[in-house]
Structure 1
Amino acid sequence: MPNLTPTVLSTARLRLRWMIEADAPAHFAVFSDPEVTRFWSSGPWTDMQQAVDAIGRELAAYRDGSAVRFAVELADQPGLIGTVSLHRFVDQSRRCEIGYAFGREHWNKGYAAEAAKAVLDYGFRVLDLNRVEADIDPRNLASARVLERLGFRKEGFLPERWIVQGEPADTLYYGLLRRYWDALPFVGS
Protein backbone atom coordinates (compact mmCIF):
# COMPACT_ATOMS: atom_id res chain seq x y z
CA MET A 1 0.00 0.00 0.00
CA PRO A 2 1.34 3.43 -0.81
CA ASN A 3 2.53 5.80 1.86
CA LEU A 4 -0.04 8.59 1.61
CA THR A 5 0.50 12.11 2.86
CA PRO A 6 -2.10 14.90 2.91
CA THR A 7 -2.32 16.19 -0.63
CA VAL A 8 -4.05 19.07 -2.39
CA LEU A 9 -4.32 19.05 -6.18
CA SER A 10 -5.36 22.08 -8.22
CA THR A 11 -6.65 22.45 -11.75
CA ALA A 12 -7.85 25.50 -13.66
CA ARG A 13 -11.32 25.25 -12.12
CA LEU A 14 -11.05 22.78 -9.25
CA ARG A 15 -9.37 22.10 -5.93
CA LEU A 16 -9.01 18.49 -4.77
CA ARG A 17 -8.22 17.77 -1.15
CA TRP A 18 -8.51 15.01 1.40
CA MET A 19 -11.94 14.50 2.91
CA ILE A 20 -12.76 15.85 6.36
CA GLU A 21 -15.61 15.11 8.77
CA ALA A 22 -17.29 18.42 7.90
CA ASP A 23 -17.84 17.09 4.34
CA ALA A 24 -20.54 14.69 5.58
CA PRO A 25 -23.62 16.77 4.59
CA ALA A 26 -22.34 17.47 1.05
CA HIS A 27 -21.10 13.87 0.69
CA PHE A 28 -24.54 12.64 1.72
CA ALA A 29 -26.21 15.00 -0.77
CA VAL A 30 -24.19 13.45 -3.63
CA PHE A 31 -24.65 9.79 -2.67
CA SER A 32 -28.28 10.02 -1.58
CA ASP A 33 -29.36 11.11 -5.08
CA PRO A 34 -30.79 8.10 -6.96
CA GLU A 35 -29.66 9.62 -10.27
CA VAL A 36 -26.04 9.82 -9.07
CA THR A 37 -26.07 6.24 -7.78
CA ARG A 38 -28.09 4.82 -10.69
CA PHE A 39 -25.06 2.95 -12.03
CA TRP A 40 -23.21 2.57 -8.72
CA SER A 41 -22.64 -0.86 -7.18
CA SER A 42 -25.02 -0.04 -4.33
CA GLY A 43 -28.17 2.00 -3.92
CA PRO A 44 -28.49 5.60 -2.74
CA TRP A 45 -27.74 6.46 0.87
CA THR A 46 -30.79 6.95 3.06
CA ASP A 47 -29.23 8.17 6.31
CA MET A 48 -26.65 10.86 7.10
CA GLN A 49 -24.79 8.34 9.26
CA GLN A 50 -23.79 6.54 6.04
CA ALA A 51 -21.84 9.64 4.97
CA VAL A 52 -20.28 10.01 8.41
CA ASP A 53 -19.25 6.34 8.38
CA ALA A 54 -17.91 6.60 4.83
CA ILE A 55 -15.72 9.56 5.76
CA GLY A 56 -14.49 7.62 8.81
CA ARG A 57 -13.45 4.80 6.48
CA GLU A 58 -11.70 7.30 4.19
CA LEU A 59 -9.75 8.79 7.10
CA ALA A 60 -8.66 5.26 8.12
CA ALA A 61 -7.73 4.45 4.50
CA TYR A 62 -5.49 7.53 4.33
CA ARG A 63 -3.66 6.30 7.44
CA ASP A 64 -3.20 2.71 6.27
CA GLY A 65 -2.58 3.58 2.61
CA SER A 66 -5.42 1.44 1.27
CA ALA A 67 -7.22 4.23 -0.61
CA VAL A 68 -7.33 7.95 -1.20
CA ARG A 69 -10.59 9.79 -1.91
CA PHE A 70 -10.32 13.42 -2.89
CA ALA A 71 -13.09 15.86 -2.12
CA VAL A 72 -13.56 17.99 -5.23
CA GLU A 73 -14.40 21.66 -4.81
CA LEU A 74 -14.77 24.54 -7.24
CA ALA A 75 -11.53 26.56 -7.08
CA ASP A 76 -13.36 29.74 -6.14
CA GLN A 77 -16.02 28.21 -3.90
CA PRO A 78 -15.33 25.86 -0.97
CA GLY A 79 -17.61 22.86 -0.53
CA LEU A 80 -17.61 19.33 -1.87
CA ILE A 81 -19.27 18.92 -5.28
CA GLY A 82 -18.01 15.38 -5.87
CA THR A 83 -15.25 12.90 -5.19
CA VAL A 84 -12.52 11.03 -7.06
CA SER A 85 -10.80 8.05 -5.49
CA LEU A 86 -7.93 5.67 -6.06
CA HIS A 87 -8.59 2.39 -4.24
CA ARG A 88 -7.97 -1.38 -4.26
CA PHE A 89 -4.22 -0.93 -4.53
CA VAL A 90 -2.19 -3.98 -5.55
CA ASP A 91 1.35 -3.04 -4.55
CA GLN A 92 3.22 -5.81 -6.34
CA SER A 93 1.60 -4.87 -9.64
CA ARG A 94 1.52 -1.10 -8.94
CA ARG A 95 -2.14 -0.88 -9.88
CA CYS A 96 -5.43 0.31 -8.44
CA GLU A 97 -8.96 1.30 -9.42
CA ILE A 98 -10.41 4.76 -9.92
CA GLY A 99 -13.91 5.91 -9.03
CA TYR A 100 -15.73 9.23 -9.18
CA ALA A 101 -19.12 10.76 -8.51
CA PHE A 102 -20.42 14.31 -8.72
CA GLY A 103 -23.59 16.01 -7.62
CA ARG A 104 -26.08 16.15 -10.45
CA GLU A 105 -25.98 19.96 -10.63
CA HIS A 106 -22.31 19.63 -11.61
CA TRP A 107 -22.76 17.16 -14.47
CA ASN A 108 -21.94 18.01 -18.10
CA LYS A 109 -19.40 20.68 -17.18
CA GLY A 110 -16.23 18.62 -17.64
CA TYR A 111 -15.50 18.48 -13.91
CA ALA A 112 -15.23 14.68 -13.73
CA ALA A 113 -12.63 14.50 -16.49
CA GLU A 114 -10.72 17.51 -15.11
CA ALA A 115 -10.61 16.09 -11.58
CA ALA A 116 -9.83 12.54 -12.71
CA LYS A 117 -6.99 13.83 -14.90
CA ALA A 118 -5.38 15.47 -11.86
CA VAL A 119 -5.82 12.33 -9.75
CA LEU A 120 -4.44 10.08 -12.49
CA ASP A 121 -1.39 12.29 -12.89
CA TYR A 122 -0.90 12.13 -9.11
CA GLY A 123 -1.25 8.34 -9.23
CA PHE A 124 1.24 7.85 -12.03
CA ARG A 125 3.76 10.52 -10.96
CA VAL A 126 3.62 10.50 -7.16
CA LEU A 127 2.37 6.99 -6.32
CA ASP A 128 4.33 5.41 -9.21
CA LEU A 129 1.37 3.40 -10.47
CA ASN A 130 1.74 1.39 -13.65
CA ARG A 131 -1.97 0.70 -14.23
CA VAL A 132 -5.34 2.13 -13.25
CA GLU A 133 -8.59 0.24 -13.80
CA ALA A 134 -12.23 1.30 -13.90
CA ASP A 135 -15.38 -0.80 -13.59
CA ILE A 136 -18.50 0.88 -14.97
CA ASP A 137 -22.01 -0.11 -15.92
CA PRO A 138 -22.12 -0.12 -19.76
CA ARG A 139 -25.32 1.93 -19.64
CA ASN A 140 -23.37 4.78 -18.02
CA LEU A 141 -22.40 6.46 -21.28
CA ALA A 142 -21.25 9.67 -19.58
CA SER A 143 -18.71 7.77 -17.48
CA ALA A 144 -17.50 5.83 -20.53
CA ARG A 145 -16.91 9.15 -22.33
CA VAL A 146 -14.90 10.47 -19.36
CA LEU A 147 -12.71 7.38 -19.26
CA GLU A 148 -12.13 7.30 -23.01
CA ARG A 149 -11.30 11.02 -23.05
CA LEU A 150 -8.62 10.24 -20.43
CA GLY A 151 -7.04 7.48 -22.53
CA PHE A 152 -8.62 4.42 -20.90
CA ARG A 153 -9.18 1.44 -23.18
CA LYS A 154 -12.05 -1.03 -23.05
CA GLU A 155 -10.69 -4.36 -21.90
CA GLY A 156 -13.60 -6.60 -21.01
CA PHE A 157 -17.27 -7.17 -20.42
CA LEU A 158 -18.64 -9.12 -17.44
CA PRO A 159 -22.37 -9.84 -17.62
CA GLU A 160 -24.44 -9.52 -14.45
CA ARG A 161 -21.41 -8.91 -12.23
CA TRP A 162 -23.42 -6.85 -9.74
CA ILE A 163 -26.91 -7.03 -8.31
CA VAL A 164 -27.90 -3.43 -7.59
CA GLN A 165 -31.23 -2.76 -5.93
CA GLY A 166 -32.36 -6.22 -6.99
CA GLU A 167 -31.42 -5.69 -10.65
CA PRO A 168 -28.55 -7.51 -12.40
CA ALA A 169 -25.97 -5.06 -13.76
CA ASP A 170 -23.14 -5.70 -16.18
CA THR A 171 -19.58 -4.41 -15.96
CA LEU A 172 -17.55 -2.81 -18.70
CA TYR A 173 -13.92 -2.93 -17.66
CA TYR A 174 -11.43 -0.24 -18.65
CA GLY A 175 -7.67 0.01 -18.14
CA LEU A 176 -5.08 2.75 -18.44
CA LEU A 177 -1.38 1.96 -18.48
CA ARG A 178 1.20 4.54 -17.53
CA ARG A 179 2.74 4.29 -20.99
CA TYR A 180 -0.66 5.10 -22.55
CA TRP A 181 -0.94 8.07 -20.17
CA ASP A 182 2.56 9.34 -20.95
CA ALA A 183 1.77 9.29 -24.69
CA LEU A 184 -1.36 11.44 -24.39
CA PRO A 185 -1.01 14.96 -25.83
CA PHE A 186 -2.53 16.69 -22.79
CA VAL A 187 -0.29 15.03 -20.18
CA GLY A 188 1.99 17.58 -18.61
CA SER A 189 -0.29 20.46 -19.62
Structure 2
Amino acid sequence: MNLILEKYVAIDYDIFKGLVMNDEIMKYISGNAWTEHQAREKFDVILATNNSEDGLGYFKVFNQEGDFVGYCKLERYKQDDSILEIGYVLKKEFWSMGIGSAICQVVLDRADKLFPAVDIIGIIDPENLASKKILEKFGFERSFLGIENDLPTEKLTLKKFHTI
Protein backbone atom coordinates (compact mmCIF):
# COMPACT_ATOMS: atom_id res chain seq x y z
CA MET A 1 0.00 0.00 0.00
CA ASN A 2 1.52 3.29 -1.09
CA LEU A 3 0.93 6.15 1.32
CA ILE A 4 2.00 9.76 1.01
CA LEU A 5 2.98 11.68 4.14
CA GLU A 6 3.13 15.48 4.17
CA LYS A 7 3.79 17.65 7.20
CA TYR A 8 0.85 19.72 8.36
CA VAL A 9 1.08 23.41 7.43
CA ALA A 10 -1.10 26.33 8.54
CA ILE A 11 -3.68 25.96 5.75
CA ASP A 12 -4.45 22.39 6.87
CA TYR A 13 -6.40 23.32 10.00
CA ASP A 14 -9.82 22.48 8.56
CA ILE A 15 -8.91 18.90 7.64
CA PHE A 16 -7.26 18.44 11.05
CA LYS A 17 -10.28 19.69 12.97
CA GLY A 18 -12.53 17.44 10.88
CA LEU A 19 -10.81 14.50 12.55
CA VAL A 20 -10.41 15.69 16.11
CA MET A 21 -13.88 17.22 16.45
CA ASN A 22 -15.50 13.83 15.73
CA ASP A 23 -16.64 11.80 18.78
CA GLU A 24 -16.35 8.41 17.12
CA ILE A 25 -12.83 9.02 15.83
CA MET A 26 -11.63 10.49 19.13
CA LYS A 27 -13.19 7.80 21.35
CA TYR A 28 -9.84 6.06 21.91
CA ILE A 29 -7.72 9.22 21.78
CA SER A 30 -9.23 11.57 24.33
CA GLY A 31 -12.54 9.90 25.14
CA ASN A 32 -14.57 12.37 23.07
CA ALA A 33 -14.33 15.03 20.39
CA TRP A 34 -12.31 18.16 21.02
CA THR A 35 -13.82 21.60 21.09
CA GLU A 36 -12.86 24.16 18.46
CA HIS A 37 -10.60 25.81 21.05
CA GLN A 38 -8.85 22.52 21.91
CA ALA A 39 -8.39 21.70 18.22
CA ARG A 40 -6.89 25.14 17.50
CA GLU A 41 -4.51 24.91 20.48
CA LYS A 42 -3.31 21.44 19.47
CA PHE A 43 -2.91 22.47 15.84
CA ASP A 44 -0.71 25.40 16.90
CA VAL A 45 1.45 22.94 18.87
CA ILE A 46 1.60 20.67 15.81
CA LEU A 47 2.83 23.53 13.63
CA ALA A 48 5.51 24.42 16.19
CA THR A 49 6.57 20.76 16.41
CA ASN A 50 6.75 20.50 12.63
CA ASN A 51 9.08 23.50 12.50
CA SER A 52 11.37 22.29 15.27
CA GLU A 53 13.09 19.24 13.79
CA ASP A 54 13.48 17.88 10.26
CA GLY A 55 12.04 14.41 9.74
CA LEU A 56 9.90 14.46 12.86
CA GLY A 57 6.45 15.89 13.29
CA TYR A 58 2.80 15.45 12.42
CA PHE A 59 1.94 14.31 8.91
CA LYS A 60 -1.21 14.26 6.80
CA VAL A 61 -1.61 10.82 5.26
CA PHE A 62 -2.98 10.28 1.75
CA ASN A 63 -3.64 6.97 0.03
CA GLN A 64 -2.45 6.22 -3.49
CA GLU A 65 -5.66 7.71 -4.91
CA GLY A 66 -4.89 11.00 -3.17
CA ASP A 67 -7.61 10.67 -0.53
CA PHE A 68 -6.88 12.17 2.88
CA VAL A 69 -7.12 9.17 5.24
CA GLY A 70 -5.88 10.69 8.50
CA TYR A 71 -2.70 11.78 10.17
CA CYS A 72 0.26 10.29 11.94
CA LYS A 73 3.08 11.52 14.11
CA LEU A 74 6.65 10.73 14.89
CA GLU A 75 7.95 13.04 17.57
CA ARG A 76 10.16 13.08 20.62
CA TYR A 77 8.32 11.61 23.61
CA LYS A 78 7.46 14.48 25.95
CA GLN A 79 8.36 12.53 29.11
CA ASP A 80 11.77 11.42 27.78
CA ASP A 81 13.19 13.04 24.65
CA SER A 82 15.63 10.15 24.15
CA ILE A 83 12.58 8.13 22.98
CA LEU A 84 10.39 8.69 19.93
CA GLU A 85 6.59 8.52 20.02
CA ILE A 86 4.47 7.13 17.20
CA GLY A 87 0.77 7.71 16.70
CA TYR A 88 -1.97 7.95 14.13
CA VAL A 89 -5.61 8.91 13.67
CA LEU A 90 -7.73 7.62 10.78
CA LYS A 91 -10.98 8.82 9.26
CA LYS A 92 -13.67 6.26 10.09
CA GLU A 93 -14.24 5.24 6.48
CA PHE A 94 -10.65 3.99 6.37
CA TRP A 95 -10.81 1.80 9.49
CA SER A 96 -10.23 -1.95 9.13
CA MET A 97 -8.55 -1.62 5.73
CA GLY A 98 -4.94 -2.24 6.78
CA ILE A 99 -4.08 1.45 6.60
CA GLY A 100 -3.13 1.63 10.29
CA SER A 101 -0.55 -1.11 9.75
CA ALA A 102 0.71 0.57 6.59
CA ILE A 103 1.09 3.90 8.41
CA CYS A 104 2.91 2.18 11.27
CA GLN A 105 5.33 0.60 8.79
CA VAL A 106 6.03 3.91 7.02
CA VAL A 107 6.58 5.76 10.30
CA LEU A 108 8.82 3.01 11.71
CA ASP A 109 10.85 3.04 8.49
CA ARG A 110 11.28 6.80 8.89
CA ALA A 111 12.36 6.34 12.51
CA ASP A 112 14.86 3.63 11.53
CA LYS A 113 16.37 5.88 8.89
CA LEU A 114 16.64 8.93 11.16
CA PHE A 115 17.35 7.33 14.55
CA PRO A 116 18.13 3.61 14.14
CA ALA A 117 18.99 2.96 17.80
CA VAL A 118 16.23 4.99 19.46
CA ASP A 119 13.36 3.25 21.29
CA ILE A 120 9.83 4.08 20.15
CA ILE A 121 6.68 4.29 22.26
CA GLY A 122 3.04 4.08 21.24
CA ILE A 123 0.37 5.29 23.65
CA ILE A 124 -3.17 3.94 23.30
CA ASP A 125 -6.44 3.48 25.12
CA PRO A 126 -6.30 -0.11 26.48
CA GLU A 127 -9.69 -0.78 24.85
CA ASN A 128 -8.34 0.12 21.39
CA LEU A 129 -7.59 -3.47 20.48
CA ALA A 130 -6.98 -2.68 16.80
CA SER A 131 -4.13 -0.27 17.59
CA LYS A 132 -2.71 -2.62 20.22
CA LYS A 133 -2.69 -5.46 17.69
CA ILE A 134 -0.88 -3.28 15.13
CA LEU A 135 1.81 -2.20 17.59
CA GLU A 136 2.34 -5.76 18.83
CA LYS A 137 2.64 -6.96 15.23
CA PHE A 138 5.63 -4.63 14.86
CA GLY A 139 7.30 -5.86 18.06
CA PHE A 140 6.03 -3.33 20.61
CA GLU A 141 5.54 -4.66 24.14
CA ARG A 142 3.54 -3.27 27.05
CA SER A 143 5.58 -1.00 29.28
CA PHE A 144 2.73 0.68 31.22
CA LEU A 145 -0.94 0.08 31.95
CA GLY A 146 -2.88 2.48 34.13
CA ILE A 147 -4.36 5.96 34.28
CA GLU A 148 -2.51 8.98 32.92
CA ASN A 149 -3.97 12.49 32.57
CA ASP A 150 -7.27 11.06 33.86
CA LEU A 151 -7.49 8.65 30.88
CA PRO A 152 -7.04 4.87 30.70
CA THR A 153 -3.61 4.46 29.14
CA GLU A 154 -1.48 1.66 27.78
CA LYS A 155 2.05 2.31 26.59
CA LEU A 156 3.80 -0.12 24.30
CA THR A 157 7.50 0.23 23.57
CA LEU A 158 9.65 -1.00 20.73
CA LYS A 159 13.11 -1.54 22.16
CA LYS A 160 15.93 -1.03 19.69
CA PHE A 161 19.33 -2.65 19.76
CA HIS A 162 21.68 -0.50 21.80
CA THR A 163 25.44 -0.80 21.45
CA ILE A 164 27.56 -0.51 24.55
Instruction: Report the TM-score, using the length of structure 2 for normalisation.
Output: 0.83
Q: Where do residues 89-100 of structure 1 align in structure 2 (5 Å cutoff)?
A: 89=77, 94-100=82-88
Q: Is the 8 A contact 1:94 1:128 kept in 2?
A: no
Number of aligned residues? 159
Kindly indicate whether residue 162 of structure 2 is the aligned counterpart of residue 162 of structure 1.
no
Change (3 A) 1:35 1:171: same
Post-superposition Cα deviations, 1:145-170, rounded to whole Å, max 9, x if no partner, equal 11112221122322x3232xxxxx32
Code of the aligned partner of 1:174: L
- The alignment's C-alpha RMSD in Å is 2.4
- Point out where structure 2 has 5 or more consecutive residues left out of the alignment: none
Structure 2 partner of 1:119: 107
- Point out where structure 1 has 5 or more consecutive residues left out of the alignment: 1-11, 164-168, 180-189
Distance 1:170 1:148 in 2: 18
Q: Where do residues 1-189 of structure 1 align in structure 2 (5 Å cutoff)?
A: 12-41=1-30, 43-47=32-36, 50-65=38-53, 68-78=57-67, 80-89=68-77, 94-158=82-146, 160-163=147-150, 169-179=151-161
Q: Of Structure 1 and Structure 2, which has the larger fraction of its residues in strand?
A: 1
Change (3 A) 1:152 1:68: same
Q: Is the 8 A contact 1:124 1:178 kept in 2?
A: no
Q: Could you tell me the percent identity over the aligned residues?
A: 25
Instruction: Report the TM-score, using the length of structure 1 for normalisation.
Output: 0.73
Change (3 A) 1:57 1:162: closer
Distance 1:83 1:59 in 2: 13
| SS of equivalent residue, structure 2 residue 24 | coil
